[in-house]
Amino acid sequence: MNTNFWDVITFIGLMFFCSCAAQKTNIMQKRNYSTGIEEGERVVVVLNTFHAYDKSIESEGEEEALGNCMSKGMMKTNRSLRMVAAKDFRRTVFANKKFEDSPRSSKVLLSFLSGPSTQSQVTELGLRYIIIVSVTTRESEARSHAEAGGSGGSGICVFGREWTKYYSMSADVLDVKYLRESGSIRASSSGTAGCGFFTGVLGGSGYCLPVPPVPFYFSQRTEAEGCSSLGAAVMDFIKGGDESVPALPPDDLGWVPYRPQKAP
């Protein structure tokens, strides 16, 4: 078989290899106040907005999935971290409100939390930080591909479409103890996805076997990697400032690249 045939085989292999490759997530952070967390203090992740391909899909299910994903990243840097499930937080603090009617943005939540009764409920949960997350996903226009090659009676054709997925998240860190927004972290990543099929003929001396169309799909783990990476960055952010350090005035610090903390 000649090089052309193996070029096509290599093309197919690379598609599946790329679908498993880890994606680098770009993370930036902005600090308004110093932070810290003591043993026994808990964290909850709540969903503010989720725009997927120009549609709003906020729901309790999406919030739960987001919390599970981010908690894995957060616990990588703090194995003793104690989380509060978002549904338990909402059930305790917003007992008479449905998910879609309960406060979700930073500004509204801070205002709501300032009430004495709400403070008592939050204390009951042992809550220190509320992480308010917004998510946006989109895709580029698909690009069509066709590859073919063969030799010695064998040949293969690949027909497919490929596109780029973009994933961005932002997390506002609310300090319940001091009723302030300590800062924000944002993460963005992109990856390749595609689908199609390949078919062909396997032939040799005295035989010819048709290869039926075989569909394929590949997608890099853009969302999972971005969510987990943001979780780790949020936990490092929370651990990154001691309460004995004077508070930094809001807006005096701009966005800076996140650098993972070294393990002790």
pLDDT digit string (tens) for 3-44?
Answer: 344 454 555 555 554 544 545 778 999 998 989 999 889 999
**Model confidence at 186: pLDDT above 80:** yes
Choice between 110 and 133, residue whose per-residue pLDDT is larger:
133
pLDDT on residue 207: 60
CA-to-CA distance for 264 and 247, rounded, in angstroms? Answer: 25
Rounded to an integer, what distance in angstroms lies between the CA atom of residue 100 and that of residue 97?
8
Are 16 and 217 in contact, with CB atoms under 8 Å apart? no
Highest mean pLDDT among 17-26, 154-163, 231-240: 231-240
Split at pLDDT 50, 70, 90, the class of 94 is confident
Amino acid identity at 120:
S
Mean pLDDT, range 165-172, rounded to an integer: 91
Which pLDDT belongs to residue 116? Answer: 81
What is the sign of the dihedral through the CA atoms of 103, 109, 114 and 118? positive
Q: What is the mean pLDDT of the chain?
A: 80
Q: In sequence order, what are the beta bridge partners of 218?
A: 194
Note the pLDDT of residue 60: 92
Q: Rounded to 5 degrees, what angle do the CA atoms 33, 39, 40 make? A: 105
DSSP secondary structure string, 78-122? -TT-EEE-HHHHHHHHSTT--GGGS--SHHHHHHHHTSHHHHHHH
In 3-state terms, what secondary structure has residue 248?
coil
| Burial of 91: CB neighbours in 10 Å, binned 0-12, 13-18, 19+ | exposed
Q: Where do we find the tokens 């603090």?
A: 93
Q: Which pair of tokens denotes residue 225?
A: 């990697």
Dihedral sign computed on CA atoms, order 98, 101, 107, 110: negative
Predicted pLDDT of residue 250: 44
User: Quick one: pLDDT band at residue 203, thresholds 50, 70, 90?
Assistant: low
> In the chain, pLDDT over 90 holds for what percent of residues?
32
N-terminal to C-terminal alpha carbon distance within the chain: 55
- pLDDT of 61-90, one tens digit each? 999 999 999 999 999 888 889 999 999 999
Q: Looking at residue 246, what is its pLDDT?
A: 42
Mean pLDDT of 180-202: 83
Domains along the chain with CATH numbers? 3-257 (3.40.50)
The pLDDT score that the predictor gives to residue 244 is 37
